[in-house]
Amino acid sequence: MNTPDNHINTPSAQGARHEDGRRWTVLFIGDHGKVIAFKRVKIVLALAGATFLLSLAAVCVLAVVNYTLHRRNTELQQGLEASGQTIRDLRHDRDLLTAQVVLVETKMRETLAGVNRSPAAVLDPVPVGATDKAPPQPVAVRPGEATASGKSPAPASDPAAVRAPVGTRDGIAAEDLRIRYHRGSNTLELQFKIVNTSPGRKPLNGHAVAVLKGSRLEPTEWTAMPAVGLTKGRPSGRQPGYRFSISHSKTFIQTMPAPRDLPAYDAAILYLFSSAGELLTAREFPVDISPSASE
């Protein structure tokens, strides 16, 4: 019996179609032999791969952002440290310049005081032949008038203008001086800060003396904290003051009984001496201490 050619080739054509439409299938077999088919394996794998790639890209982006922020933060910290060091250097230079100005003013005032110790009287010219009649009489010179030489006399020295001798040693600075008068206990409270600005932060030891002065007070009426002797309103450094020992910076608070008749003080000079009594530095601060202004 003859079979047509089209019937003979039919099975092979169906197998080719099955091979062309082949896809992955995952079969799950239950406890009772039931088969569960899962046919979208490729889609799930593609989604998983895409999710992994997106996660990896997000991690890379976050790592780059974190590194950038960390670098910027480091640069800002370095800039702040550099600015802080610059501020400390400028403050130290300011203290040195102030110390030099005060020292020059002190020397000028002492020079003027030495000139003013000479007699301030000018003798009238005596006519010829009248030397036996009367001795020459001094003529008082009024302030602002010229003498016979054509020069005005130097002004009298002002005792209240005596300023602190100031050293210019590097490595130490005085800051933030405050003085309070407590009426209830009749005490003076002194607060000040000492800063070690030396390279390497070498420890510094010494003692401090604060001198309270007023523009209307004589140097003999000035008050020292602690109570040490003053020579022309200045401590010698041989008498110990408030001891200090610092490596970086430290704030000190000291108290002492106030004078019985407390005058008005408008300035305070803080002297810093070494342990051997050598003047390290001194700085003047404005204050406002009076019996009527107490805390």
In this structure, what CATH number is given to the domain that contains residue 187? Answer: 2.60.40.10
- Is residue 212 classed exposed, middle or buried when 0-12, 13-18 and 19+ CB atoms within 10 A define those classes? buried
Residue 146 lies inside a defined structural domain of this protein: no
Number of domains in the chain: 2
User: How many CB atoms neighbour CB 224 within 10 A?
Assistant: 20
Residue 294 lies inside a defined structural domain of this protein: no
Q: Do 281 and 174 contact (CB within 8 A), yes or no?
A: yes
Instruction: Check whether residue 284 and residue 187 sit in a common domain.
Output: yes
| Local confidence pLDDT in tens for the 295 residues of the chain | 454 555 445 455 555 454 455 667 777 676 776 777 767 777 888 889 999 999 999 999 999 999 999 999 999 999 999 898 888 888 877 877 877 777 787 778 777 776 655 544 444 444 444 444 444 444 444 444 444 444 444 443 444 344 444 444 567 888 889 988 888 888 889 999 988 887 776 788 899 999 998 888 888 889 898 888 888 888 888 888 899 888 888 889 988 888 888 888 889 999 998 888 888 888 889 998 876 655 5
- Cα separation, 11 vs 19, whole angstroms: 13
- Identify the domain containing residue 215 by its residue range: 164-289
Q: What is the pLDDT of residue 91?
A: 80
Q: What is the pLDDT of residue 293?
A: 55
Q: What is the pLDDT of residue 166?
A: 47
Residue 225 lies inside a defined structural domain of this protein: yes
- Cα–Cα nearest to 195, from 150, 246, 243: 246
Residues 6+ apart with CB under 8 A from 80: none
- Cα separation, 207 vs 254, whole angstroms: 13
Q: What is the pLDDT of residue 53?
A: 94
Residue 133 lies inside a defined structural domain of this protein: no
Instruction: Check whether residue 169 and residue 278 sit in a common domain.
Output: yes
Q: Do 264 and 196 contact (CB within 8 A), yes or no?
A: no
- Is residue 8 classed exposed, middle or buried when 0-12, 13-18 and 19+ CB atoms within 10 A define those classes? exposed
Q: What is the pLDDT of residue 58?
A: 94
Q: What is the pLDDT of residue 148?
A: 40
pTM: 0.45
Which tokens sit at 182?
Answer: 């407590």
Q: How many CA atoms lie within 13 A of 141 on its CB side?
A: 20
Residue 9 lies inside a defined structural domain of this protein: no
- Cα separation, 207 vs 244, whole angstroms: 6
Q: What is the pLDDT of residue 23?
A: 67
- Cα separation, 292 vs 264, whole angstroms: 9
Residue 244 lies inside a defined structural domain of this protein: yes
- Is residue 91 classed exposed, middle or buried when 0-12, 13-18 and 19+ CB atoms within 10 A define those classes? middle
Residue 132 lies inside a defined structural domain of this protein: no
Q: What is the pLDDT of residue 116?
A: 58
Q: What is the pLDDT of residue 124?
A: 45
Q: What is the pLDDT of residue 42?
A: 78
Ranges assigned E (strand) in 26-81: 26-29, 35-38
Q: Is the dihedral of CA 253, 259, 265, 271 positive or negative?
A: negative
Q: What is the pLDDT of residue 142?
A: 43
